[in-house]
């Protein structure tokens, strides 16, 4: 599908800006339901960034930033039960001290 005028460039710029902000903020967390697993949160970041993130480093960062708090519920399914979380401060964006950029 072709967009009219310069809308293709505007959309590309908006997506790039979102990706840049995701590197150092909690924005993807606001795209999830109220209760989610850490795997759900990591997957949301990976979808926006279009690249995988290292699981333990991601979880360490999220928990150290006080972004989420565990609740007394688990999600059951085919695999072992997964702890559910919610945002610690649902009205506030968290800024990480470092970006999620891969190390070079």
pLDDT digits (tens, 9 = 90+) for 4-24: 888 889 989 999 999 999 999
Reported CATH class of domain 32-90: mainly alpha
Write out pLDDT tens, residues 33-76.
999 999 999 999 999 999 999 999 999 999 999 999 999 999 98
pTM of the full predicted structure?
Answer: 0.86
> What is the Cβ-side half-sphere exposure of residue 56, based on CA atoms within 13 angstroms?
0
Q: What angle separates helix 38-49 from helix 7-22, to the nearest 10 degrees?
A: 140
* Cα torsion 77, 79, 58, 44: sign: negative
């Amino acid at each position: 599908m072709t967009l009219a005028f310069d809308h293709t460039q505007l959309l590309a710029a908006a997506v790039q800006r979102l990706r840049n902000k995701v590197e150092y903020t909690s924005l993807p967390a606001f795209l999830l339901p109220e209760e989610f697993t850490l795997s759900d949160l990591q997957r949301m970041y990976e979808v926006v960034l279009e690249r995988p993130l290292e699981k333990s480093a991601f979880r360490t960062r999220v928990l150290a930033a006080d972004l989420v708090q565990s609740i007394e519920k688990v999600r059951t399914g085919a695999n072992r039960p997964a702890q559910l979380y919610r945002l610690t401060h649902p009205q506030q964006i968290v800024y990480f001290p470092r970006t999620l950029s891969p190390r070079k």
